[in-house]
Amino acid sequence: MSSVGLLFVGAVLFVNGLLLLGRVDAKTAGVFNLFVGALQTAIPFYVIATADTPDAVLGAAGVFMFGFTYLWIGINNLAGFDGPGFGWYSAWVAVMAVGFGATSVVRFDDVAGGLLWFQWAVLWAMFFVVIGLGRAQFTTVTAWLTLVMSFTTCTVPAFVYLLGEPLPVWAVVASILVTAAALAPLALRAVRAGTTPPVVAAPVEERVPVAV
């Protein structure tokens, strides 16, 4: 993923985290999701169209998952569509993100990049749980995870890359440990509330906002 694209993924994750917390309305967030989705679709399309090596195509292919994610979110939020379809797509993205993470480590010897992919796999898995399965009790912890990861996995790494510096593995590991420790109480609280019935067919205004 390009540094510029990663930077704006951080921005849209920040907005979508606020959306889940009820601090941003769905339509406003939807417009910005369309902007970032278009960017994250155009960049890999250009890279693939001009690529001269399989590795270049491989590197760009994963970015489409981000682009289609934000285009889908934008359309859903602006049109008021239901979210379960996007939730199940998030499950597929989570599985693929694990694959891209392993590829980054094994094929490209990029441990820091692989750790970023593994974190994105966790985030998309959480959106599968909240939106695909309708487990609304996990909304708050997912919102805060989105907000934190908007900086730790996107904004800060993108800025480091823009400066022409490598991303230190120790810094990524440290951010993972701090994030896990900080959000563990919220996660445990959500698990204890696991008897909450799934959100299946609530009116539009009561549904969990579609955001990632």
Supply 97's token pair: 């993100």
Name residue, tokens 């195509």: 57
For the question of whether the overall pTM of this predicted structure is more than 0.85, the answer is yes
CA distance 64 to 61: 6
79-110 pLDDT tens trace: 988 888 999 999 999 999 999 999 999 999 99
Report residues of the chain scoring pLDDT below 50: 197-207
Q: Which residue type is seen at 122?
A: V
The answer to whether residue 149 sits within a structural domain is yes
The answer to whether residue 212 sits within a structural domain is no
Q: Which residues contact 102 (CB under 8 A, 6 or more apart)?
A: 114
Q: What is the DSSP string of 95-158?
A: HHHHHHHHHHHHTT--HHHHHHHHHHHHHHHHHIIIIIS--GGGHHHHHHHHHHHIIIIIIHHH
- The number of folded domains in the chain is 1
Query: With 0-12 CB in 10 A as exposed, 13-18 as middle and 19+ as buried, what is 184?
Result: exposed
The answer to whether residue 69 sits within a structural domain is yes
Q: What pLDDT is attached to residue 117? A: 97
Beta carbons within 10 angstroms of residue 140's beta carbon: 17
Residue 108 sits in a domain of what CATH number?
A: 1.25.40.600
Q: What pLDDT is attached to residue 195? A: 56
Q: Which residues contact 98 (CB under 8 A, 6 or more apart)?
A: 117, 118, 121
Q: What pLDDT is attached to residue 51? A: 87
Q: What pLDDT is attached to residue 202? A: 40
Q: Which residue type is seen at 201?
A: A
Beta carbons within 10 angstroms of residue 173's beta carbon: 13
Q: What pLDDT is attached to residue 211? A: 56
The answer to whether residue 211 sits within a structural domain is no
Beta carbons within 10 angstroms of residue 177's beta carbon: 10
Structural domain boundaries enclosing 83? 3-206
CA distance 125 to 44: 23
Q: What pLDDT is attached to residue 2? A: 82
φ/ψ bin of 166: left (φ > 0), alpha (ψ from -120 to 50), beta (otherwise): beta
* Residue whose C-alpha is closest to residue 29's, from 137, 143, 120, 136: 143
Q: Are 41 and 67 in contact (CB under 8 A)?
A: yes
The answer to whether residue 172 sits within a structural domain is yes
